[in-house]
Structure 1
Amino acid sequence: MSDSAVHVRSDTELAATNRALYDTLWADALLIEPCRFNTWPLLSTLAAQSKRSLEVAPGLRPRLPLQRTQFLDISAAAMTRFLERGAAAVVGVINALPFADQTFDLVCSFDIVEHVDDDATALAELSRVCAPGGTLLLSVPLHEAAWTAFDDFVGHRRRYEPQDLINMLRRHGFDIERSAIFGMQPKSPRLIAWSMWHLIHHRERAMWWYNHVFMPIGLRMQRKLRWLPGLIDDPHVDTVLMVCRRTGTANGARFT
């Protein structure tokens, strides 16, 4: 990834931004059932075909089945909610996954690696726990030129340029098989600004709107995922979801 794709904020500032937003969000948000997301047709099928599945940093918006998945998130509030539903859940961080090598044949991580300072270690950990031939589903925001105040507010560390992303995944043993336009970010700058201000100054009211208005509308407005081979390279695409295959080891060596 090029140096221009990194926004200069200290680890402490970045961690504080993420914790302040997501501790609040997951403490007061409702858990959304995985079947309500447009990822469900694909992920329910992949999960049924997988012996062991892992979803990293689901918050309260899991995409894999609650009863057949290992979940990990930095938020104790979120993981407590999963445990109450009988799911396997543990508090932890993506840069130090508490699982043995090659444990899972399906690994999912949505909208997280752009938040961590050391994304190389995060991807190395996802690669380490993914079995040979396994599948990784990963979503990230694209294009540094598309950076807005929303990226700062939600605690993004970077956006990715497509070729840099392809190269980085290959270094960690993943090939991108297909990708689709992804994400539920509001398009209106005024709505984003309104939401950010209320989350900061009127948290309870903002969370009521999030749970009862914005999230239901966002779920209803989801479009069916349209898959293209390889990685989408379009400057108008904000966030991309990738289906990757674990075909090699770190630094490009191949499984035999």
Structure 2
Amino acid sequence: MRNPRDAAARNIVEDNRRFYESLWSGARLVRPQRFNTWPLVSRLLAPQQCRVEVAPGLRPRLPLEDTLFIDISHAALASLKAVGARVAQGQIGSLPLASGSADFLCAFDVIEHVEDEDGSLAELARVTRPGAVMLASVPLHPERWNAFDEFVGHHRRYEPERLLAKLDEHGFVVEQSAIYGLQAKSSRVLEAGMWWLTHQRERAMWWYNLFMPLSLSRQPKLVLEPGMIDGVGVDEVLLVCRRRAAATHGNTP
């Protein structure tokens, strides 16, 4: 007998695959040096690291050289491979990596997309070695839930206290954090963007490729603070996490 939860999980994966396959098929690759995360990434880079980025799409944050990029999108992987990156198809809940193999892992804008957050966090913990760094970003505050969250396939927003507790449960300690995100502040801009992506996707992607460089040029400098920032009024947070030597969760090594 089919498990309804398994079927629902497969549907979620397929929904995400369809949305992002279409998105990345029409988008241009943005190199990691263009993002305001690059100074932080550069500071954390070290020789002989095993570096992994999960679900980068065409907006990778880690160096294209010597990083393994894992995504469900064939289009994204093909574009990354075309510029010399190493790629593998997979998803956050089942990563094609040996346990304890990653020294530096990125998971930007992905944890909130997965229904099984414990399974995903356990998998991130499984593939990282003790002492490894994980960079991640997630949206904050359930009360800020909007049509854009629904449109892009989010399953949740996090309260800062619950986020810290959930990461700690899976063996990750938040060392630093910062305000993050490129989402438009105007609800009208978001609504217009969603309409165009739904009804005139080709034209929408033309505008996306035109204005993406402009939005990147206006990114504020990341201001990192120890631990978790005061999340009042913050839509999205970037986290610098460290994998503990021994996790408290039963599903992690």
Report the TM-score when normalising by structure 2. Answer: 0.92
- Map 1:207-246 to 2 at 5 A: 207-213=205-211, 215-246=212-243
CA distance in 2, matches of 1:50, 1:166: 30
- Map 1:175-194 to 2 at 5 A: 175-194=173-192
What does residue 153 of structure 2 align with? 155
CA distance in 1, matches of 2:17, 2:97: 24
Q: CA deviation at 1:252?
A: 5.9
Superposed CA RMSD in Å reads: 1.5
Structure 1 residue corresponding to 2:78, chosen from 59, 77, 80: 80
- Map 1:68-217 to 2 at 5 A: 68-213=66-211, 215-217=212-214
SS of structure 2 residue aligned to 1:200:
helix
What does residue 4 of structure 1 align with? none
Q: Which amino acid aligns with 2:57?
A: G
CA distance in 2, matches of 1:14, 1:193: 23
CA distance in 1, matches of 2:18, 2:102: 31
Q: Is the 8 A contact 1:47 1:53 kept in 2?
A: no
Deviations 1:69-108 (A, max 9, x none): 1110010110111111111101101100111011111011
Q: Is the 8 A contact 1:50 1:105 kept in 2?
A: no
Report the TM-score when normalising by structure 1. Answer: 0.91
CA distance in 1, matches of 2:193, 2:78: 26
CA distance in 2, matches of 1:167, 1:244: 13
Structure 1, unpaired ranges of 5+: 1-9
Q: Which amino acid aligns with 1:154?
A: V
SS of structure 1 residue aligned to 2:103:
strand
Q: Which amino acid aligns with 2:25?
A: A
Moved more, 107-116 or 80-89: 80-89
Q: Is the 8 A contact 1:174 1:248 kept in 2?
A: no
Structure 2, unpaired ranges of 5+: 1-7
Aligned length: 243
